[in-house]
Amino acid sequence: MSLDLGFWTLQALNALQLSMLLFLLSIGLTVIFGLMHFVNLAHGALYALGAYFAASVAAVGGYWAGFFLAPVAVAGVGVLLYSGLIQRMRKSGPMAQVLVTFGLIFALLDITRMVWGDLALGLEVPAILAGRVALLGVDYPAYRLFIIALGLAIFAALAFVLSRTQIGAMIRAGVDNDAMAACLGINVERLFFIVFCVGCALAGL
């Protein structure tokens, strides 16, 4: 077994970067399912839609424009989905939710193909993230460190909102007992609408 500090540092950073990438991919689904108990199988299709939005915007306005506007665009799609379909399916049971969102996968993928085609689109990394950073004897890509920092920042922000703020307390109350929360004056439907849109926006990252 190697005792080289640089080797183990590199493996640890690679593991952390991959885990943060998977976290960013799944956190939107986790937020929707964990807080709304809604099975959204179409989350992957929303993620793909966000990637295409980001690539299209970045081609015109640069990487950061795509980075910030893609979640907004996917949240807009979430607004349409919630208003037209998800709201009436929220209390229909998991089987109905699975069937409806499974159908949404094909609908969203076909829309994506009609707009962008079947060709893969690339995204240029901005100059500030294109280099490498010396860290504990290892030259590690700056973009991968950015992914790690982004994942940790989103994790900390969600944990703070849900555990330390008033809106987090209202969301937890709605999850535990939505009827009692509504009796206390909490607009549960509006909260779950916000949760769904936030989950969709996280898919666009």
User: How does pLDDT run across 112-138, given as a tens digit for each residue?
Assistant: 999 998 877 878 888 898 888 888 778
Q: Which residue has the tokens 């183990």?
A: 8
Predicted local distance difference test score (pLDDT) of residue 94: 82
44 CB-contact burial (10 Å; exposed 0-12 / middle 13-18 / buried 19+):
middle
- Kindly tell me if the per-residue pLDDT of 90 is higher than 90: no
Q: What percent of the chain has pLDDT over 90?
A: 34
- Kindly tell me if the per-residue pLDDT of 147 is higher than 80: yes
Predicted local distance difference test score (pLDDT) of residue 121: 80
Residue 201's nearest CA partner among 154, 148, 142, 131 is 154
Q: What is the mean pLDDT of residues 1-13?
A: 77
pLDDT band of residue 152 (cuts 50, 70, 90) is very high
Q: What is the mean pLDDT of residues 160-184?
A: 86
The chain-wide mean pLDDT, for the chain, equals: 87
pLDDT band of residue 26 (cuts 50, 70, 90) is confident
Question: Rounded distance, CA 166 to CA 169, Å?
Answer: 5
Tell me how crowded residue 41 is: count the other CB atoms within 10 A of its CB.
16
Q: Which domain holds residue 81?
A: 5-203
Predicted local distance difference test score (pLDDT) of residue 29: 85
Predicted local distance difference test score (pLDDT) of residue 187: 87
- Kindly tell me if the per-residue pLDDT of 1 is higher than 60: no
Total domains in the chain come to 1
Q: Does the reported pTM lie above 0.85?
A: yes
pLDDT band of residue 3 (cuts 50, 70, 90) is low
pLDDT tens-place string over residues 62-82: 999 999 999 999 999 999 999
pLDDT band of residue 155 (cuts 50, 70, 90) is very high
Listed in sequence order, the residues at least 6 apart from 186 whose beta carbon sits closer than 8 Å to its beta carbon are: 170, 173, 174
